[in-house]
């Protein structure tokens, strides 16, 4: 949906159709870019959320991508009973309905004989869609990275790999978390980022799906950190083409996890000018710090949304470990622990060279104060440099890594952080409650375009006969607007207070997320 402005001719037509009081409302002053903002569940998007049952089984959405025409692509998995899970790709129109021109009634699945699922989706300039994910091993076999390319109509693209798919075996347990187009010096390749066992892994592919020998070593880059687990969760590309991977690295001696960033040059080699030998680890809480989402600005600064397990109250801020990547002493985190059983959302911003940005929050860090335990689900950046963070809160205590809630309810809302790192106290947000989440894996990804923020995950239906229904894919859309305006189900802005009468004018949205 594009609601970033209401053209004068549309406003004039609307004024002719609405009752007199609405005539006065609509033909008045437009929202100001400096006015207070709010995030509402978008009424023009099926009331703000759509739920999709693919085949009656357990369906989960893991990632999404947006196009300029307002459509949204969602990938994940669709369970097919005893046959395991199939990779899933859905296309939604801008009004939230499935696009019948894609696949079968807006859906396409891939079954390669095992269990497959998508964890990242990319829409290429020519309209083809690339999904990266996992090809699960059977028995003693290990997982492999799976990359699939679709034609715009939902068919597999036979010019890519073998009949539209590429299975990448790096010799370990291989998982893809992200795929993106890497454009440098007139050369475009696909880069898949993820993990190989407990290493960061990057794979460069040419347009036909074969490995790009100009990237890394024969198309593959692996980074062996001196820590274990959960690396390579999210990837951003800086304006100069360098690649930053954010994740978490575990310390075997005490079971803690630190935030980790690694940067690579355009040829795939580790960038030694970033942090120390290309890697930065940050102890936020000194316990468990998990990167959930990252975004980069045109100036190359990197913002990372982190879930901190154990909670934070006060302190000087995080501690950046600049010891060599071969290992070294680890300092405790800079925040005090308020309750080891809680978890909180924290946003960090780094300078392009890997140092924490002193102009952002407190020593480069913003702690989001919210009631109870809450997690960071994703972060997006507006063109003015503000950050919008989607946070989630379980109604009862739950594991942040799984997103499970004993009570079956999870609340989502949006928080605005100003360019200098202050939580906007005047920003208000609707709350969306996901019901009956037994077996739910949580909100998986966030994306934004124009002035809307979309969140993908899954939700379980209400109890039936004492049992939950299988989870379905759920897509939620918030619209960021001025607090004195609202959106009709038709997508038109209307003010919710009277002001001086005047001619119809273009109505800009107060925020723009690009695209």
Tens digits of residue pLDDT in 283-297: 887 778 888 899 999
E strands, 17-71, in order: 37-41, 49-52, 59-66
Q: Alpha helices of 60-102 — where are they, by DSSP H?
A: none
Counts for the chain of helices (H) and strands (E), in that order: 2, 35
Instruction: Considering only residues 287 and 416, tell me which one the structure prediction assigns the higher pLDDT.
Output: 416
Instruction: Supply 283's token pair.
Output: 């102890």
Q: How far apart are CA 165 and CA 162, in angstroms?
A: 5
Q: Is residue 287 part of a domain?
A: yes
Look at residue 154 in the predicted model and tell me its pLDDT.
94
Confidence band for 372, pLDDT divided at 50, 70 and 90: confident
- With a cut of 80, say whether residue 10 has pLDDT above it: no
First vs last Cα of the chain: how many Å apart?
A: 12
In tens, the pLDDT along 223-258 reads: 887 666 556 678 999 999 999 999 887 765 666 788
Residue from 376, 327, 444 nearest 77 by CA: 444
276: in domain: yes
- What distance in Å separates the CA atoms of residue 448 and residue 66, rounded to the nearest whole number? 7
Q: Tell me the average pLDDT across 200-219.
A: 94
Choose from 2-11, 61-70, 147-156, 450-459 the range with maximum mean pLDDT: 147-156
Domain with 294 in it = 239-321+340-367
Count of domains forming the chain: 1
Q: Contact at 8 Å (CB) between 65 and 123?
A: yes
pLDDT band at 450 (very low <50, low <70, confident <90, very high): confident
Task: State residue 512's pLDDT score.
Answer: 73
Q: Is residue 112 part of a domain?
A: no
How far apart are alpha carbons 175 and 146 in whole angstroms? 8
Q: How is the chain split among helix, strand and coil, in percent rounded to 5?
A: 5, 45, 50
CA 353 to chain centre: 23
* Mean pLDDT of the 135-161 span: 88
pLDDT at 427: 93
Sign for the pseudo-dihedral over CA of 215, 220, 226, 228? positive
Residue at 360 is within a domain: yes
> Which of 470, 446, 445 minimizes the C-alpha distance to 460?
470
Residue 57 lies in a domain: no
pLDDT score at 407: 44
Q: Is the pLDDT of residue 210 over 80?
A: yes
pTM of the model: 0.84
418 within some domain? no
CA distances 44 to 50, 271, 476, 489, 492, Å, are: 11, 45, 12, 4, 9
pLDDT above 90: percentage of residues in the chain:
44
DSSP annotation of 510 reads S
pLDDT digits (tens, 9 = 90+) for 51-73: 998 877 788 899 999 988 889 99
Burial label, 486 (beta-carbon count in 10 A; 0-12, 13-18, 19+): middle
Question: What is the rounded average pLDDT for all residues in the chain?
Answer: 78
**Element holding 201 (H helix, E strand):** strand 199-205
Does the residue 448 lie in any domain? no
Check: CB of residue 36 under 8 Å from CB of residue 429.
no
Query: Can you give the pLDDT at residue 341?
Result: 62
Q: Does pLDDT of 335 surpass 60?
A: no
Strand duo 279-283 + 288-296: pairing: unpaired
User: What mean pLDDT do residues 365-384 have?
Assistant: 87
Nearest to 267 by CA among 200, 180, 326, 185: 185
Q: Which residue has the higher pLDDT, 489 or 267?
A: 267
User: Is residue 271 included in any domain, yes or no?
Assistant: yes
C-alpha–C-alpha distance, residues 87 and 145, integer Å: 12
Share of residues in the chain with pLDDT > 70 (%)? 72
């Amino acid at each position: 949906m594009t609601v970033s402005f209401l053209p004068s001719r549309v406003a004039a037509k609307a004024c002719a159709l609405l009752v007199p009081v609405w005539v006065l409302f609509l033909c008045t002053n437009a929202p100001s870019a400096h006015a207070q903002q709010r995030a509402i569940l978008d009424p023009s998007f099926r009331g703000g959320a759509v739920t999709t049952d693919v085949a009656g089984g357990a369906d989960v959405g893991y990632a999404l991508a947006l196009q300029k025409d307002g459509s949204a692509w969602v990938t994940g998995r669709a369970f097919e009973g005893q046959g395991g899970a199939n990779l899933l790709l859905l296309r939604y129109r801008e009004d939230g309905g499935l696009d019948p021109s894609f696949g079968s009634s807006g859906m396409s699945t891939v079954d390669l004989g095992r269990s497959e699922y998508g964890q990242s989706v990319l829409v290429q300039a020519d309209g083809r869609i690339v999904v990266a994910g996992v090809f699960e091993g059977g028995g003693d076999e290990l997982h492999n990275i799976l990359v699939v390319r679709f034609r715009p109509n939902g068919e597999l693209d036979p010019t890519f790999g073998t009949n539209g798919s590429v299975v990448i075996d790096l010799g370990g347990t291989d998982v893809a978390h992200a795929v993106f187009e890497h454009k440098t010096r007139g050369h475009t390749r696909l880069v898949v980022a993820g993990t190989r066992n407990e290493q960061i892994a990057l794979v460069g592919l040419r347009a036909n799906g074969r490995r790009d020998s100009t990237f890394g070593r024969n198309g593959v880059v692996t980074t062996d950190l001196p820590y274990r687990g959960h690396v390579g969760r999210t990837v951003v590309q800086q304006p100069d083409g360098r690649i930053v991977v954010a994740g978490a690295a575990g310390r075997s001696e005490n079971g803690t996890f630190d935030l980790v960033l690694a940067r690579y040059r355009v040829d795939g080699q580790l960038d030694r000018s970033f942090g120390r030998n290309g890697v930065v680890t940050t102890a936020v809480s000194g316990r468990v710090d998990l990167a959930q989402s990252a975004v980069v600005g045109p100036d190359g600064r990197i913002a990372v949304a982190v879930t901190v397990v154990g909670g934070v109250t006060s302190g000087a801020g995080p501690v950046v470990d600049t010891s060599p990547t071969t290992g070294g002493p680890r300092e405790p985190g800079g925040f005090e622990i308020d309750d080891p059983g809680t978890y909180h959302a924290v946003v960090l911003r780094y300078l392009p060279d890997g140092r924490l940005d002193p102009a952002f929050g407190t020593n480069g860090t913003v702690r989001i104060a919210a009631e109870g335990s809450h997690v960071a689900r994703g972060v997006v950046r507006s063109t003015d440099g503000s950050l919008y963070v989607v946070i989630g809160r379980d109604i009862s205590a739950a594991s942040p890594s799984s997103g499970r809630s004993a009570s079956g309810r999870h609340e989502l809302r949006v928080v605005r952080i100003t360019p200098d790192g202050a939580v906007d106290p005047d920003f208000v947000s609707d709350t969306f409650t996901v019901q009956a989440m037994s077996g739910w894996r949580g909100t998986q990804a966030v994306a934004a375009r124009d002035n809307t923020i979309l969140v993908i995950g899954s939700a379980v239906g209400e109890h039936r006969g004492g049992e939950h229904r299988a989870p379905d894919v759920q897509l939620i859309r918030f619209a960021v607007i001025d607090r004195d305006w609202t959106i009709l189900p038709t997508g038109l802005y209307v003010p919710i207070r009277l002001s001086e009468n005047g001619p119809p004018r273009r109505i800009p949205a107060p925020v723009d997320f690009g695209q």
